[in-house]
Structure 1
Amino acid sequence: MTKNQIYLVELIQIFAQYRNNIIINIKHLQEDYQRTGIKRIRGVRNESGKLIQPWLITEYMDDTDYVSMGEFQFNRNTATINMLVKRRVKLAKFEDQTPTIEVAGLLVNDLNTFNNYTIVSDGKINVKSLQVKISSKKVFDLLKEKGILDAEKFDFQLEHTIQLDNLPLVAANNSYSSIDGLFNELAEIKVLTSIICAHLKKESNVFIEAQLDEFKKHYLSKNIYINFPTTNEYTDINDALANGTLDSKLSYKIDIGSQDILNLSKLPSANKFLNRMYRLYDKETGEIIIKPSFEMVFHENLAMRHRLLSSRTKITKVDELMKPIFDDFLGLEQNGIVEGILKKVGADSLAQLLPDKQAGKQIDKEEIVVALTVAKKKLEEYAENIYQDKISPLVFYIGSTGLLPEQMEAKAMTADEAAVKYPNLQFSKDEQEGTFFAVGDSIISIYEKTEYYSKLISGGVDNKMRYTNLI
C-alpha cells in the first residue's frame, strides 16, 4: 500500500459527495461487467413455456458513451456496494416502436431508469476500473492528493482510468458506533411501515381508480414507476446449471437482531399478522370477514376486534413486539407507541389524525391517504438513515474482513449454543449453520446462503431498475 493510497469505501464516499462533477464511460463499464444475479427478461411464460412479451418496450434517449456518476448503495446484510446509473428512456409499442406520449392525462415520454451495477460483491471487487471525466478542478486535486489519478494537470476533456481492484476495501482501525437498541427501533418502524403499506396497496393520493387502471395497462405503478412483468431467462434451473448458463456461489449474510428475535425477516407482513391475531367484522350484521386485509379498513361499516385464540396458539416474542403496535394503530388499546414512532420520524399529520379516526370522527378518506403516504416516506427515510449511518458500514466491514471490529469483543457461538443461551431465538435452515455473537443487547448473525447468478454475460447489467416519480 502506497503512502497516499486510500480505501475503496473512502473513494466511494468521495464519488458520492462529488457525483455531479464526474461522468462515467458507460460503454467501458459494460464491456467486461459480470452480472452478480440471475438475468431476468421482460414477459411471462404460458403453460407451454413460450415467452409472451409486453406490448410496450423502453428505449434509451441518451445513447451516448458518457453518463452521470451513479448513486451508491451499501447492501443491508452483505459486503456489497451497488451503483445506480441514471438513464433517460421513453415508452414505445413493441410492434412498431411508436412512442407512447401520454397515459391517463400524464406525459410519460421522458422517464428515468436506474441500471444497477455491482461494484463490490460479497467483499470481492466486481468492477476493476472506471473510466471517467472530471469537470471540477477541486475534485481533480482531491483525487490526485489521494493517489487515485496519474495526470499532472487538470484537463476537463481528459479521460482518467481509476483502478479499483488495487485498493483495500476498508480501514482496519475504523471506529463503529454502538448498535444497542437499533434492532428494536428498526423493528417498530418496519411493523408500522408494513401496516401503512397494506393500507395504501390500492390507494393513491393523486390519481383516481380509472387512472390507476390505465397505468396498470401500460405497466406503470401508481407512483409512475415502470413495472414490466419479468421472468427468468431459463425454464429449468437444473438445465441452466448443467449447461453453464447459471452458476452458484456462497454469499455471506450478516444480520442484526436482538436476544429474542434473530433478525427482521422473522416479522410477518401486516396482513398476515392481522389474520393471525384479529377479526374484521360487519358492525351491523356481525358477519366475520374471511381473509381480512388493511385495504378493507377504509369501509365505514367494518370494525376490528381481537381474535379468540385457541389454547394451542403459542405467543412468540414476535407477537409480543407487533401486537401493541397493531392494537394502538387500530384503536383497540391506547398505549402511545404509534404516536411516539410517528412524531420521532416527523410524521405529525398522521399522528394527529389517528386519534380522531379511532374516536369515530368522520375524516375524509383522501386526507387519511395523504397522511399515510407522507408517514410511509418519513418512516422509510428514517430507517434508511439508520442503515446507512450505523448498520451497513458495520455489515460491510464484517463481510469484507470476516472479523468483528476490534471494539466489539464477543465470543462466537453456534446456533445450538445460541439457542440454549437465548431460547426465544428461531433459526432458519441456513441460519442453523451460522455463527453468532452477542454484542451488548444485540445478536450479530453470520451465515452462508447459496445464490445463483447468470454466467457468460459480457456487457450485461444487473436487471434491477426503478423509475423516478414524475409527480
Structure 2
Amino acid sequence: MASNKISLLELIQIFAEYHSNIIVNIKHLQEDYQRTGIKRVKGTRNENGELLQPWLRTEYIDNAEYVGMGEFQFNRNTATINMLIKRKVKLTKFEDQIPTLEVAGLLVNDLNTFKNYTIVSDGKINVKSLKVKISSKKAFELLKEKGVLDAEDFDFNAEYTIQLDNLPLVVANSHYSSIDGLFNELAEIKVLTSIICAHLKKESDVFIEAQLDEFKKHYLSKNIYINFPTSNEYTDIQEALVNGTLDSRLSYKIDIGSQNILNLSKLPSANKFVNRMYRFYDKKTGEIIIKPSFEMAFNKNLAVRYRLLSSRTKITKIDELMKPIFDDFLGLEQSGIVIGILIKAGADSLAQLLEDKQTGKQISKEEMVAALTAANTKLEQYVEKIYRDKISPLVFYIGCTGLLPEQMEAKAMTAEEAVAKYPDLQFSKSEQEGTFFAVGDSIISIYAKAEYYSKLIFVGIDN
C-alpha cells in the first residue's frame, strides 16, 4: 500500500463522486457506532411523562447487509461530516403490523427513510472504518492509487475494508477561496427564502388541503417524507446526566459573518420581521391584522403598509439588510433586489411572475405557489453550492486544526475587542467567550458551546 496517505477530506470527495458505485456493509457500520447527538424515540409524552406511540410505524422492506453509500454532508459551522443513508420502508399499523398501502390517492408502500451516520464529529473520527464493495473498476483503481485499498486486482464480489482513522483529516498546506462578499449574498438569500417558506407553510403545488391533512394524520410531510413525532428518551436531563444516559462535550462552532452582522442566526424569521416593520389590513374595512403573517398573503382582500414605529424603536444593521428585500417583495418599493436574487439563483419563473405582478397582471394562487416552490428549490441549491465549494471546506479545516489557513492573515480578537472595532455586532452568551478574526470584509467567529449526546451504543435497525 502507498505510504503517502491522502486526507480524509479528499477520500470523502472520491466517495461522493463514486457513491453510486459503492455499497456499504450497514451491519458493520452499526457495530459500536457512537451517537453524536441525543437519541430521540418515536412518540409524544403525556402530562405524566409516559411515551405515547404513533399509531403507525415503519418497517424496512429489506433486511440487507449492504446499502447504497449515502450522500456526504458537511455541517455548516462545525468540523463534522455526516453520511446520509437512504433505505426503502413501508408503513404498517403499530398494533397489528397491517401495511398501509395508500394515503390520499397516493401509493405509500415504497417510501424512503433517511438516517445520518456521523463520520467525523467536531474534528474527531467517529467511524474508524467502512466495509464496502465496489462495482466500478475506475473507482477501485483510484482508491488503490490513493493508498486506501490493500488489494491488487479488482473483484466486484470482494469486500474491502477502508480505514478512516489512519488518515489525516486535512492537508496542512490547503488553500481556500476568498470569502469576501459571501455573507451578504447568503444573508439576502436567507431573507428571501424565509419569506417564500412562510408563504408555503400550509401550501403545496401538487396536493390540495384535504390531502395534506391526510398526509399529516399518517405522519407524512407534503413532500411525502416520513415525519413521526419524536421525544427525548429521557424525561429529566439532570437525572440523565447523573445516571450516565447523557454526557456533554464542547463543540467548537465556526461562523462566517460581516462587520455589521456576526452570523446568519441573527436574522429573524420572515413573519417576525413583517410583524415588527409592517401592517396587513383589510382593503374594504381598513381593519388592522394584529399578528400579520405571510400565510395570509394569498387573501386578496389584504393590503400592506409600513408600521408606525415608536421613537424608541432602534433601526439596526439587520433591519437595514432585510427591509429593502421585504419592501420590494411586498410591492412597497420597486428596487429590483428580489428579482436580482432570483435570477442569480436561476429561479426565473418566480422572477417573471413578480415582474408581471408589478405591471398589474392578475396572478392565480396556483401559479404563485408553483413558482414559489420552484424558486425555493433553486435558492436552496444555490446556497448549498456556495457552502460546498467555498465555506464548508474552510470551516472543516479551521475546526480540525484550530487555525486559519496560511493565506488568511488576521489577528485574533476577543468579543470586547471586536465590538469596540465593529460596534454593530451583537453577541450571544456563548459567542462572548469566542475568538474573532477580520478577514477582508468578513468576520470569522470561533466559539465553544456545550452539546449533549446519548452515551448508549447504536443498536438495532430502527433506532
**TM-score of the two chains, using structure 1 as the length reference:** 0.97
Aligned 8 A contact 1:116 1:462 in 2: no
Matching residue of 2:141: 141
CA distance in 1, matches of 2:462, 2:392: 21
Q: Classify the secondary structure of the residue corresponding to 1:295.
A: helix
- Residue 126 of structure 1 aligns to which amino acid in structure 2? N
Paired residues of 2:71 and 2:85 also in contact (CA < 8 A): yes
Is structure 2 residue 87 aligned with structure 1 residue 87?
yes
- What whole-Å deviation, never above 9, does each CA across 1:328-359 have from its counterpart, x for those lacking one? 00000111100100111111111111133345
Amino acid corresponding to residue 318 of structure 1 in structure 2 = I
Q: Aligned AA for 2:452?
A: Y
- The 8 Å contact of residues 117 and 461 in structure 1, kept in 2 or not, is answered as no
2:54 maps to what in 1?
54
| CA distance, structure 2, for counterparts of residue 460 and residue 254 of structure 1 | 34
Residues 112 and 225 of structure 2 are in contact (CA less than 8 Å); yes or no, is this contact kept in structure 1?
no
**SS of aligned partner of 1:298:** coil
**Counterpart for residue 345 of structure 1:** 345
Q: Which residue of 1 aligns with 2:254?
A: 254
**Residues 259 and 442 in structure 1, CA contact (< 8 A), matched pair in contact too:** yes
- Match of residue 39 from structure 1: 39
Once the two structures are superposed, the pairs formed by residues 159-238 of structure 1 within 5 Å of their partners are: 159-238=159-238
- Find the aligned partners of 2:4 and 2:138 in 1 and give their Cα distance: 17
CA distance in 2: counterparts of 1:389 and 1:18, whole angstroms? 18
CA distance in 1, matches of 2:206, 2:156: 43
For residues 419-452 of structure 1, give each alpha carbon's deviation from its aligned partner in whole angstroms, at most 9, with x where no partner exists. Answer: 0000000000000000000000000000000000
Query: Corresponding residue for 1:263?
Result: 263
1:86-112, Cα deviation, whole Å (9 max, x unpaired): 111010100000000000000000011
Contact 1:33-1:461 within 8 A present in 2 as well: no
- 1:10-409 map, 5 Å: 10-409=10-409
The SS at the match of 1:186 is helix
Query: Unmatched 5+ residue regions in structure 2?
Result: none
SS in 1 for 2:366: helix
CA contact (8 A) 1:418 1:436 kept: yes
- Most deviating of 148-157 and 95-104: 148-157
SS in 2 for 1:116: strand
Could you tell me which residue of structure 2 aligns to residue 468 of structure 1?
none
Residues 254, 445 of structure 1: 8 Å contact kept: yes
1:458 to partner: Cα distance: 3.6
C-alpha change, 1:70 and 1:213, in structure 2 (3 Å) is same
Three-state SS of the structure 2 residue aligned to 1:338 is helix
Q: How much has 1:173 moved relative to structure 2?
A: 1.0
Displacement after TM superposition at 1:459 (Å)? 3.0
Match of 2:149, SS state, is: coil
Work out the CA distance in 2 between the residues paired with 1:76 and 1:6. 23
Per-residue deviation at 1:461?
Answer: 8.3
Q: CA offset at residue 360 of structure 1?
A: 4.3
Paired with 1:401 and 1:286, the residues of 2 have a C-alpha distance of 59
C-alpha offsets along residues 202-258 of structure 1, whole Å, 9 cap, x if unaligned?
Answer: 011111111111111101111111111101000000000000000000000000000
| TM-score normalised by L of structure 2 | 0.98
Structure 1 residue 2, shift from structure 2 partner: 6.1
Counterparts of 2:144 and 2:382, CA distance in 1: 35
Equivalents in 1 of 2:99, 2:45: separation in Å?
26
Equivalent-residue separation in structure 1 for 2:456 and 2:336 (angstroms)? 55
CA contact (8 A) 2:252 2:399 kept: yes
- CA distance, structure 2, for counterparts of residue 3 and residue 49 of structure 1: 56
Alpha-carbon separation, structure 2, partners of 1:391 and 1:263: 13
The 8 Å contact of residues 39 and 462 in structure 1, kept in 2 or not, is answered as no
Conserved 8 A contact 1:4-1:145 = no
For 1:435, the equivalent position in structure 2 comes to 435
Q: Give yes or no for contact 1:25–1:132 (8 Å, CA) kept in 2.
A: yes
Superimposed CA distance per residue, residues 293-342 of structure 1 (whole angstroms, 9 cap, x where no aligned partner): 00101101110000000000000000000000000000001111001001
In 1, Cα distance between the equivalents of 2:119 and 2:27? 16
Question: Against the structure 1 CA distance between its residues 447 and 462, is the aligned structure 2 distance closer, same or farther, given a 3 Å change threshold?
Answer: farther
CA-atom RMSD in angstroms: 1.3
- The alignment-based identity, stated in percent, is 83
Contact 1:130/1:162 (8 A) holds in 2: yes
Contact 1:435/1:447 (CA < 8 Å) preserved in 2? yes
Which amino acid is 1:408 matched to?
Answer: M
